[in-house]
């Protein structure tokens, strides 16, 4: 009897919470916040600033551990890129390893390229972000960004 009275007394609060939650999720989706972009580097005709999409640990995606980045192209035309990849580790992965799957492939628009950078389960202080780009003339361009301390703390 007492639990029935409790339920009757508070069920309208649960209904109100269910009605409010979609607005909370909508607000969170419309106002995302990201960590600051890393310093930009010149890579051939391109000037690129990588920005991690969060400070969380790498996650498993299609059997690989990956960490998501937005690559902001401050200079250069992304139409001049034949193929591009990103990975995190002590060195840039060879092309054969990068072409094994869809992880690590740059994709997006002229405003920014998104990438699921291939990495290990945990980031190490000796790791770097490696961006490898091939232009339509067949030239490979590779650049490296050390992993900042804020990204290592997870």
* Predicted confidence (pLDDT) per residue in 63-108, tens digit: 889 999 999 999 999 999 999 999 999 999 998 888 888 899 999 9
> Please, are residues 49 and 74 in contact by the beta-carbon 8 Å criterion?
yes
Band of residue 35 on the pLDDT scale cut at 50, 70, 90: very high
> Please, are residues 129 and 147 in contact by the beta-carbon 8 Å criterion?
yes
Q: Which pLDDT score, from 0 to 100, does residue 152 have?
A: 76
Q: Which pLDDT score, from 0 to 100, does residue 153 have?
A: 67
As a whole number, mean pLDDT of residues 5-33 equals: 92
Longest dimension (CA), the chain: 80
Band of residue 146 on the pLDDT scale cut at 50, 70, 90: very high
> How far apart, in whole angstroms, are the C-alpha atoms of residue 73 and residue 70?
9
What's the whole-number average pLDDT of the chain? Answer: 91
Residue of higher predicted confidence among 1 and 66:
66
> Please, are residues 102 and 95 in contact by the beta-carbon 8 Å criterion?
no
* 79 phi/psi in degrees, rounded to 5: -70, -15
Q: What is the pTM of this model?
A: 0.80
* Residue 154, pLDDT above cutoff 70: no
* Residue 115, pLDDT above cutoff 90: yes
């Amino acid at each position: 009897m007492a639990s029935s009275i409790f339920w009757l007394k508070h069920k309208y609060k649960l209904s109100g919470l269910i009605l409010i939650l979609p607005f909370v999720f909508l607000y969170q989706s419309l106002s995302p916040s990201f960590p600051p972009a890393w310093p930009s580097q010149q890579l051939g005709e391109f000037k690129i600033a990588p920005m991690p999409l969060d400070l969380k640990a790498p996650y498993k995606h299609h059997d690989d551990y990956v960490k998501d980045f937005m690559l902001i192209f401050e200079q250069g035309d992304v139409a001049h890129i034949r193929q591009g990849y990103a990975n995190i580790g002590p060195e840039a992965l060879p092309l054969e390893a990068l072409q094994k799957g869809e992880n690590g492939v740059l994709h997006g628009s002229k405003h920014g390229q998104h990438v699921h950078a291939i990495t290990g389960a945990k980031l190490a202080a000796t790791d770097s972000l490696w961006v490898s780009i091939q232009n339509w003339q067949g030239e490979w361009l590779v650049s490296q960004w050390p992993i900042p301390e804020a990204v290592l703390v997870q």
